[in-house]
Amino acid sequence: MKYCAAVLTIICLLYTEAVFSEEVQPTFKYVTSYNKEGRFMTKNDIEKSSINVLKPIIFVIGGLTNDDKNGDSWSRDLQDAYLEKFIHNVFIVDWNVTSPLDSDALTKARSAGLTVADFIATIFNKTGEAYLDIHLVAVSLGCEVAASAAGRFADISSRKINRLTGLDPAYYLISNGNELKLSPENADFVDVVNTKLNGDLKQTGHVDIFVDGEGSNGPSSHGVPKSVTLFAKSVNSNDIKATKCDNLENFRKGGCNDEEQVTFGENIDKAARGRYFLKY
């Protein structure tokens, strides 16, 4: 009986090693204000002169490939907003997961995150910079990739990612565990936008913003997730405000109307902490 148990344990370990050794090779499309169509880059293409180290470096990480039914409209919204702000470094990361219900989604997310971390570390190494402003903006299952990347980057560089923004993290889609769940440990500042207000509204970042309003549980008019549309709009605007509140019920009743407010989205005060709500 003990022999059987030992054999079973070895088989499980070998299977686990095989599963997690599957490599996912994301693509990195580099877009700038001067080349909005972008070009694909690998680590070998990175040079000191190829990236503007004086500007923030944004990695937009999706939850599906850009071959899905909505095309690349979700990433283009964010890309165009950042380029309008004259942020000249935007990487669109496609990590080749074709369905949010992919049974291997968590494994692929972890593997893709390792590659993203190595890519970021290469930027540091090849530019020779001690400080770079790195911001991961992740959508849906891409949040798991970002969490994996943040952990790996900290391990190999003894640095933290500056900022990680999660737009509608897809924990509810993953049946085999939440090991890659976002947390304040992922980056110097972690902000999370939630438009799917179902169940227990847990805080997972330094700041979690919950969007309450008609249509907030679904895509916007052109098939892009509501969280993406709102965040893209916030890049060049300070008009959207969120109110600090302990729960959704109190917010809807107006019980938090006199509480602290913050600017929603890209330009949020990074000293903010807690749960915020907005009606949109």
pLDDT confidence of residue 269? 96
Q: How far is the C-alpha of 194 from the C-alpha of 71, rounded, in Å?
A: 23
One-letter amino acid of 36: K
User: Averaged over 149-155, what is the pLDDT?
Assistant: 95
Q: How far is the C-alpha of 34 from the C-alpha of 118, rounded, in Å?
A: 26
Q: How far is the C-alpha of 80 from the C-alpha of 23, rounded, in Å?
A: 30
What percentage of the chain exceeds 70 in pLDDT?
78
pLDDT at 237 over 70: yes
To which residue do tokens 């994996």 refer? 148
Each residue's pLDDT tens digit, 44-65:
999 888 888 888 999 999 875 4
pLDDT confidence of residue 10? 35
What one-character DSSP code corresponds to residue 224? -
Tokens of 43: 């680590």
User: Which segment of 33-37, 156-160, 178-182, 273-277 scores lowest on mean pLDDT?
Assistant: 178-182
Q: How far is the C-alpha of 76 from the C-alpha of 184, rounded, in Å?
A: 28
Each residue's pLDDT tens digit, 105-128:
778 888 999 999 999 999 999 999
Q: How many CA atoms lie within 13 A of 47 on its CB side?
A: 3
DSSP bridge pairs for 189: 163
What percentage of the chain exceeds 90 in pLDDT?
50
pLDDT confidence of residue 33? 84
What one-character DSSP code corresponds to residue 221? T
Could you tell me the sign of the dihedral formed by the alpha carbons of 61, 67, 69, 72, in that order? positive
Q: How many CA atoms lie within 13 A of 189 on its CB side?
A: 17
C-alpha angle with apex 265: 259 to 268, nearest 5 degrees?
A: 60
Judged by DSSP in three states, 219 sits in strand
More confident site: 206 or 22: 206
Q: How far is the C-alpha of 192 from the C-alpha of 143, rounded, in Å?
A: 10
Q: In whole numbers, what is the pLDDT of the chain averaged over residues?
A: 82
Task: List, in sequence order, the alpha helices (H) in 22-86.
Answer: 73-84
To which residue do tokens 């990612």 refer? 161
Q: How far is the C-alpha of 252 from the C-alpha of 212, rounded, in Å?
A: 9
Q: Where are the domains of the chain?
A: 2-279
pLDDT confidence of residue 87? 75
Each residue's pLDDT tens digit, 132-151:
999 999 998 899 999 999 99
pLDDT confidence of residue 72? 63
Pick from 198, 275, 265, 261: which is nearest to 227 by CA?
A: 265
More confident site: 211 or 66: 211
Q: How far is the C-alpha of 235 from the C-alpha of 68, rounded, in Å?
A: 25
Each residue's pLDDT tens digit, 68-88:
444 466 788 899 999 988 777
The per-residue b/e assignment along 65-75, b for 16 or more CB within 10 angstroms, e otherwise, is ebebeeebebb
Q: Indicate the CATH number for domain 2-279.
A: 3.40.50.1820
